[in-house]
A and B are shown apart, each in its own frame.
Chain A
Amino acid sequence: MTRPEERVGIHGWGAYIPRWRLPMEEIGRVWGWPPHQFKGLNVKEKSVDGPDEDSTTMAIEAGLNALARAGVEPSKIGAVFFGSESKVYAVKPSATIVAEVLGITPVTMASDLEFACRAGSEGVRASIGLVSSGMVEYALAIGSDTAQAEPGDVLEFTASSGAAAFIIGPREGAAAVFEASYSYITDTPDFWRRALRPYPKHGEGFTGEPAYFHHIINAVKGLLEETGYKPSDFKYAIFHQPNGKFPVRVGKRLGFTYEQIEPALVTPYIGNTYNASALLGLARVLDRAEPGDLILLAPFGSGAGSDAYAIRVTEEIVERRDKAPTVDDYIARRKPVDYAVYAKNRKILVMLPR
Chain B
Amino acid sequence: MNGVGAGSLPRWWRNRIPRYRLVGAKCKVCGRIHYPPREACPYCGSRDLEIVPLPRRGKLLSYTHVFSVPGDNRLSTPIILGLVDLGSAKVIAELTDVLPEELPNVKEVEAVVRKVEEQGGNGVIGYAIKFRPVLQATPGGQG
A residues lining the B interface (CB < 8 Å): 18-19, 50-54, 56-57, 60-61, 88-89, 97, 100-101, 103, 284, 286-288, 321, 325-333, 335, 344-345, 347, 349, 351, 353
Contact = CB atoms under 8 A, between A and B. Distances in A.
A347 B115 CA distance: 14
Interface in B119-134: 120, 125, 127, 130
Contacts of A326: 137-138, 141, 143
Contacts of A328: 138, 141-143
Given A100-B20, A335-B99, A351-B74, A287 B113 contact: no
16 contacts: A51-B75, A52-B94, A52-B116, A57-B112, A57-B114, A61-B112, A89-B125, A287-B143, A321-B143, A325-B137, A326-B137, A328-B138, A329-B138, A331-B138, A332-B136, A344-B75
Given A89-B125, A326-B143, 14 more contacts: A18-B97, A50-B114, A51-B76, A52-B114, A52-B115, A57-B114, A57-B115, A61-B112, A103-B21, A286-B143, A288-B142, A330-B135, A333-B136, A351-B75
B16 interface: yes
A330 B136 CA distance: 9
A52 B76 contact: yes
A35 B112 CA distance: 38
Nearest to B70: A354
B75 A349 contact: yes
Nearest to A94: B125
Interface of B: 16-17, 20-21, 74-76, 94, 96-97, 99, 112-116, 120, 125, 127, 130, 135-138, 141-143
Contacts of B130: 52
A337 B57 CA distance: 27
B6 to A, nearest CB: 15
Contacts of A52: 76, 94, 96, 114-116, 130
A152 B135 CA distance: 33
Contacts of B99: 335
A336 to B, nearest CB: 12
A19 B20 contact: no
A41 to B, nearest CB: 25
A339 B130 CA distance: 26
Nearest to A331: B138
Given A333-B135, A351-B75, A53 B142 contact: no
A33 to B, nearest CB: 26
Contacts of A327: 143
Contacts of A286: 143
Contacts of B116: 52
B113 to A, nearest CB: 5
A50 B96 contact: yes
Nearest to B112: A61
Nearest to A345: B75
A61 B125 CA distance: 17
Among B16, B127, B137, which residue has the most Cβ atoms of chain A within 10 A?
B127
B75 A53 contact: no
B113 A57 contact: yes
A223 B125 CA distance: 42
